[in-house]
Amino acid sequence: MAVSRKRRSLLLATMVIFAALAVAAAAALYGIDRTADVEATPTGSTPAASAVTKSSAESAPNPLLVPGIEHVHMGDSYAAGTGPYNLVEGAPIPCQRTTVNPGRLLSKRMHWRTRDVACASAKTENLYIEQYFGAGPQLDALSARTRVVTSVLGANDEDFFDTLVTTCAKLGDTDPSGSPCRDAYESQFRAQLTRSTGPNLRKAYLDIAAKAPNARIFAVGYPWLVPAEQACRPSMRFADGDIAFAREMQALLNAQVKAAVEGAGGTFVDMAEGSEGHDACESSDVRWIEPAYDETGAPTGLPANHPNARGQAAMAQALEQAIRRQR
């Protein structure tokens, strides 16, 4: 009996030694620093306790993934999905609210109950006042029951977007190799975006948060209209020197949106990286934004300077990714 116990003890000791050697060999093979586990463990806790805490945090339920929660989608034509698509039945026709806009595509995937009040040409003031008959203040759609708010807003304040894509395009015809838009509008655009649009957006998102205190708020940035450098006349009639200027102004607008929504505790969904290489100067099978004219200079018949179906789907996907990261 004593011999048997001795043999078992010897066998157990041998197994422990071999196990230790195996762990050491694995550590050497994969470059694992075993001291890192100890150093990363907070004082007064154990590695096991830390692992449990981390696992619990990672597995915390995302409240936005619950089917049937109330979602409000708001904003301008980029939010409304303006284009040659099916209009939402019963929506005011001037709003050009379509069934494939980013908010509706997202809602369909998430199985939410959605109230869509997005409307073409909306400005931040249309959160507070009626825009068209039947298109009342967009803030009225919000309540304490709202759990998610998605929006695209800001480009129409001070007629910034229209001036950039229409007036500056006409100026490009007068001086194709110059920078007539920068020369005429740089100081005006910068002042408008920082002194008017920015404060308007900050107030808007704070008011959204106040009207929907239980909601997570997501603001989508505007995808790139044009490439960083190369002009593409006649599709987009910006002068050579105004392509970079258009990007600068669009980046400044998106910066105002980002600061405003984050200041209200919300999330900015940045489209800059994702939309790179999908601007209106790209080929029809790649671009997310439609140009005003085709390669021959003829009107495309599509909503110029607005997302096509591919662009709207990309915005919905970016929103979904941001939402799924929430805890």
- Residue-wise pLDDT for 16-27, tens only, equals 333 333 333 333
Q: Distance between CA atoms of 130 and 125, rounded to whole angstroms?
A: 9
Identity at 306, one-letter amino acid code: H
Among residues of the chain, what percentage have pLDDT more than 70?
A: 82
Catalytic residue among 71, 73, 278, 306: 306
Same domain flag for 54 and 69: no
- Taking residues 104-120, report their average pLDDT: 98
Boundary of a domain, candidates 58, 83, 100: 58
Q: DSSP alpha helices (H): ranges in 82-137?
A: 102-110
Between residues 181 and 53, the one the model is more confident about: 181
CATH number at residue 192: 3.40.50.1110
Choosing from 77, 107, 121, 179, the catalytic residue is 77
Place of tokens 């003829």: 298
- In terms of Cα–Cα distance, which of 232, 64, 182, 203 is closest to 139? 203
Both 122 and 223 in one domain: the answer is: yes
- Same domain? For 22 and 170 the reply is no
> Are 246 and 205 in a shared domain?
yes
pTM (two decimals): 0.81
Number of domains in the chain: 2
pLDDT, residue 218, reads 98
Per the prediction, the chain carries an average pLDDT of 85
The per-residue pLDDT for 30 is 29
User: What's the pLDDT band for 294 if we cut at 50, 70, 90?
Assistant: confident
User: pLDDT tens-digit profile of 314-323?
Assistant: 999 999 999 9
Domain match, 229 and 127 both: yes
pLDDT at 46: 35
pLDDT digits 0-9 by tens, 149-199: 999 999 999 999 999 999 998 999 999 999 999 999 999 999 999 999 999
Reported as a pLDDT band with limits 50, 70 and 90, residue 58 is: low
Active site residue 77: yes
Helix axis angle for 243-263 and 198-211, nearest 10°, is: 30
Per residue in 85-97, pLDDT tens?
A: 899 999 999 999 9
**Distance between CA 206 and CA 199 in Å, rounded?**
11
Distances (CA, A) of 57 to 43, 54, 108, 278, 323: 19, 5, 28, 37, 17
CB 120 within 8 A of CB 45: no
List the domain range (segments joined by +) for residue 12. 2-58
In this structure, the answer to whether residues 10 and 92 fall within a common structural domain is no
Verify that 74 and 184 share a domain, yes or no. yes
Task: Indicate whether 238 and 296 sit together in one domain.
Answer: yes
For residue 303, what pLDDT is reported? 86
